[in-house]
Structure 1
Amino acid sequence: MSSIATTHVGSLPRTQEVVDFIFSREKGEPYDAIGFDACMRAAVSETVRKQAEAGIDIVSDGETSKISYATYVKDRYTGFSGDSPRNAPADLKMFPGFLQRIADSGGTPEYARPMCTGEVRSKGQGELETDIANLKAAMAEHGVARGFMNAASPGVISLFLQNGHYKTREAYLAALADAMKTEYETIVAAGLDLQLDCPDLALSRHMLFADLDDAEFVKIANLHVEALNHALSDVPQERVRVHICWGNYEGPHCCDIPMAKMFDTLMATKSRYVLFETSNPRHGHEWTVFRDRKAEIPDDKVLVPGVVDTTTNFVEHPDLVAQRIERFTDIVGADRVIAGSDCGFGTFAGFGAVDPDIAYAKLKALTEGAARAGAAA
């Protein structure tokens, strides 16, 4: 019998009080800063408690204080103003009636996406240090030994906060890597694992680079990895998680670039843990890529497949979760697999397809499935 650890991608549903505070700040409205801090501290404690109650081994702060996993950097770094153009994913453009239905239902988050209009520099690590303190206090309170904190990759920042200042994309990526380096190092120095969110390695193919062919896109993605690895040059690889994503939305996803074409790029990241989607219907079959290319998976890589979906309110049966896990333990062994989720449950503050209570029911199913897979290993 083996023990298979459990985790998730990071973001979790936020309470309405948290959302109200975040959007007051986002809109530049007056708000109680002391009340904001107290609310975030209490919310992180409750989020960690719920994760622990569900049996999650490696927890996060749920990205509670962030407006979103990528655009939070506009508040922590200089050089951003105005607004970036919006690019609907190519698959949604193929089905305009569905795209309109999403817009009409309020299913498209509205939040600031400024352009890069000046030099990108850190404003200091104060907000990050508060997030770290809240997570560590919650972990101590609820008896959780291991936690991780999300951070935006240089590539995903360039996807959502587009370049209007640097002469080239490469120069912008280099500036972002230099700016984000301290954030990454601060998280690890605090005793937490660092997760880099990298939808730029997949989602941006059909969002920002739809006019390129796959081979041309892979070259761009590899430049993103070079920038990321530079930013991680002083971070121990064993403390790094990288998450690749095709977009955390219910939609056709028929324009998603296959995992087979991104496999080498993902494996080239300076990370011990690689998190990827295997539960949704568009990517559930791609476990075979890892099976067929087993010899190309570096010996130090730990696979963290998503074994519960984050865009539907179905609660997966633990036996199905176990089957999904076993596909990967059969490839690399139980000691090199951690059970995860396809994506986050609260990628944008105030928006999420999955009901908050159901999100934690899914995490419970994840841990129950991991226990069954561990018993069979």
Structure 2
Amino acid sequence: MANKIRTTHVGSLPRSQDVVDFIFSREKGEQYDQTQFDKVMSDHVAKVVAKQVEAGIDIVSDGETSKISYATYVKDRYNGFGGDSERNAPADLKLFPDFLKKLSQQGGTPEYSRPVCNAEISTKNTSDLNNDISNLTTAINQHKAQQGFMNAASPGVISLFLPNKHYSSREKYLQVLGDVMKQEYETIVDSGLHLQLDCPDLALSRHMLFTDLSDEEFVSIANLHVEVLNHALRDIDKSKVRVHICWGNYEGPHICDIPMNKMFDTLMKVDAQYLLFETSNPRHAHEWTIFRDRKSEIPQEKVLIPGVIDSTTNFVEHPELIAQRLQRFTDIVGKERVIAGSDCGFGTFAGFGAVAPDIAYAKLASLVEGASLASSQ
């Protein structure tokens, strides 16, 4: 079909129990069989790619299978991290302590290690990254997926979840993170995969780490994060890069979220052709109008990937609704510059996710059907 709207998602997908068990064995420092670990990871990646292709997804991922989470996985790949850091709930949940307590009692908040940076950061090993790339590229070839992408943490989101206790300033810490992560970014792109930078630091960190600042002061910090990120991306073709901005993949009030309109300029500054953002989240669904009203400020090379399915509820969005959401953006920039995506990942933390695995893939299948409807309209 001419001008077919392609489909993708943010990255993480539900992991099987054997995958989760191995990940937490490593997380807890327990003994485990590395050969069996590698086999379980490769087998699972093959399965999740097959399921994505079966659902009709054009641009697939490895589901972030081997990672404990989208940000803290770096502690397993780089030296300089140790100990643990205090947990800090988002500001909106603190305003509703009864709900926060309920989440905690029901297991609604994931538990995993959040070390601090307590020494010089350097590469520990590249085997995890190389294995991830090999597993995904092999599965793509086996199941004939059109294109693949791999997630990587941005310097800013690492600084959010792994606080600095070593370097003289946050700025220095960010700079070092950018220099270290540069090689990971380039290795992913050199393999033929697209690189996705996960950047909740450009929105979520406003109501987690920088609650004492004004919005304007926070935007200045977010712009610094983008400068560091762009420096790390300086040798990579923008057409191979995706960036995801996020206010937190959790069901909650979200009344402390900074508006997209205040982060719009920052998002547009990232040296990435593809922009992923939330539009199904009830707190942000109305913000498609920002893109309409600021159309002239969207660089011509940018491709919009709005989240047209939610990743925190087990409702399967109707294809007609998905088509309506997509048409709002195709009316702004044209079908060739819109890809259908999800609000966030379905398995942001290993073993943790609000959506049942089978329903997650049903939502992806509905995403594909909705994109087909929007393409034909």
TM range (shorter): over 0.9
Letter in 1 for 2:191: A
**CA deviation after TM superposition for structure 1 residue 370, in Å:** 0.2
Cα distance in 2 between the residues matched to 1:30 and 1:362: 37
The yes-or-no answer on 1:169 pairing with 2:173 is no
**CA deviation after TM superposition for structure 1 residue 121, in Å:** 1.0
Question: 4+ runs of 1 displaced by more than 6 Å?
Answer: none
Partner of 1:199: 200
The yes-or-no answer on 1:319 pairing with 2:324 is no
Moved more, 91-100 or 121-130: 121-130
Partner of 1:43: 44
Letter in 2 for 1:262: M
Letter in 2 for 1:239: K
**CA deviation after TM superposition for structure 1 residue 124, in Å:** 3.1
Partner of 1:267: 268
Can you list the C-alpha shifts for 1:89-125, whole angstroms capped at 9, x where unaligned? 0000000000000000011111000000011111232
Cα distance in 2 between the residues matched to 1:314 and 1:243: 23
Alignment of 1:176-191 (within 5 A): 176-191=177-192
Cα distance in 2 between the residues matched to 1:295 and 1:145: 31
Cα distance in 1 between the residues matched to 2:52 and 2:121: 35
Partner of 1:17: 18
More strand by share: 2
Cα distance in 2 between the residues matched to 1:263 and 1:119: 34
The yes-or-no answer on 1:32 pairing with 2:33 is yes
Can you list the C-alpha shifts for 1:160-195, whole angstroms capped at 9, x where unaligned? 000001111100000000000000000000000000
Partner of 2:346: 345
Moved more, 11-20 or 77-86: 77-86
Can you list the C-alpha shifts for 1:39-62, whole angstroms capped at 9, x where unaligned? 000000000000000000000000
**CA deviation after TM superposition for structure 1 residue 280, in Å:** 1.2
Gaps of 5+ in 2: none
Can you list the C-alpha shifts for 1:305-353, whole angstroms capped at 9, x where unaligned? 0000000000000000000000000000000000000000000000000
Report SS of the residue matched to 1:110: coil
Cα distance in 1 between the residues matched to 2:3 and 2:266: 30
Report SS of the residue matched to 2:137: helix
Partner of 2:53: 52
Gaps of 5+ in 1: none
TM-score (norm 2): 0.99
The yes-or-no answer on 1:80 pairing with 2:102 is no
Report SS of the residue matched to 1:119: strand
**CA deviation after TM superposition for structure 1 residue 32, in Å:** 1.0
Cα distance in 1 between the residues matched to 2:18 and 2:215: 43
Cα distance in 1 between the residues matched to 2:51 and 2:239: 27
Cα distance in 2 between the residues matched to 1:126 and 1:197: 21
Residue-pair matches, total: 376
Letter in 2 for 1:311: T
The yes-or-no answer on 1:284 pairing with 2:289 is no
Report SS of the residue matched to 1:235: coil
Cα distance in 1 between the residues matched to 2:200 and 2:86: 18
Letter in 1 for 2:357: P
Cα distance in 1 between the residues matched to 2:281 and 2:109: 20
Partner of 2:148: 147
Report SS of the residue matched to 2:119: coil
Partner of 2:7: 6
Partner of 1:225: 226
Partner of 1:65: 66
